[in-house]
Amino acid sequence: MLNEEFKDYIENVKNALILGIGGGGDILGALPTRNFLTSIGVECRMGGVAYERSQFDIKPGPRSLNEIENVMKINETIALANSESKTDYGLKFQVSGMSRFLGEETVLVDITKGVEGVREGLEDFCRKYSVNLVIGVDVGGDVTANGYEKGLRSPLTDAIMLAALKKLSVKNIIGVFGVCCDGELKLHEISDKLAKIYSEKGFIGAIALSLKDVEMMRSAVKYVNTEASKLPILVADGKTGSTFIRGGSRVAELTFFSIFTYYLKTDIVYENNTMSQRISDSKSFIEAYKILEKIGVTTEYGLQLKRKGLL
């Protein structure tokens, strides 16, 4: 289901950057978007945020490029990663796994310098690599949250990336894949949010998983370690209902709607995301975190600090 506005967005696009904006395994959820664009002749490069879940990374928070080995640094916040890219203490990123699967370099985004750092880095990268479309894909739907939903657990990374894309001069859109597969927002919450965005003329199309997408994702999960992003594969097999993830701490809702990627106008998503607006001028990840903490928003970083007994 692609409307004329979506076609306008991709018309004359030669080089696209497809980013998983929630960190970790979101890069797997960006794969269907990459496949669709390559099928119509667009050169695509995939990427994601240098922030892994605490079950993989012993250190809370995102990693800076200064902590990462075997990358080609493009600027202060953007690097090209490969299958051997890892931290100086041995952590490999899901972006590295995708690089190994695809047999090509991927993009690693450092969010430690806040919204402005990400924006500046992306502007520079897009100029150097002639990128004329950026699509930021969020798995689950947190990017549409307002900050006070009962089940919300990891909105900070999405909010930073959304604010950076809102400020980016290069044409960009937001994709939401695998709604409810992260066990945070409920289906009725995401439905309400997407309906509001639609009413404000922010919806520009959707694509469903193709058979090729499903088969590629089945192969990719051997290299990309993720729970949420792979759940739509189960839906493609006809499995729906509730399933436990995150060691049983969350319940993901598997529905037919999970197999779609919904494409939205960045500015309309931003206008509905109070968190992203609040941190839009942040110069560091910690500054952004403190802003949201002050207004009572639960974030992934705050939860990591609590688990480590640091908060």
Q: For 116-134, how does the pLDDT look when each residue is reduced to its tens digit (9 = 90+)?
A: 999 999 999 999 999 999 9
- pLDDT-derived band at 248, boundaries 50, 70, 90: confident
Number of domains in the chain: 1
Q: What is the model's pLDDT at position 306? A: 94
Q: How many Å is the Cα radius of gyration of the chain?
A: 17
- List the Cα angle 216/219/225 in 5-degree steps: 115
Report yes or no on whether pTM surpasses 0.95.
Answer: yes
CATH of the domain at 110: 3.40.50
Mean pLDDT of 108-113: 98
Structural domain including 185 reads 4-307
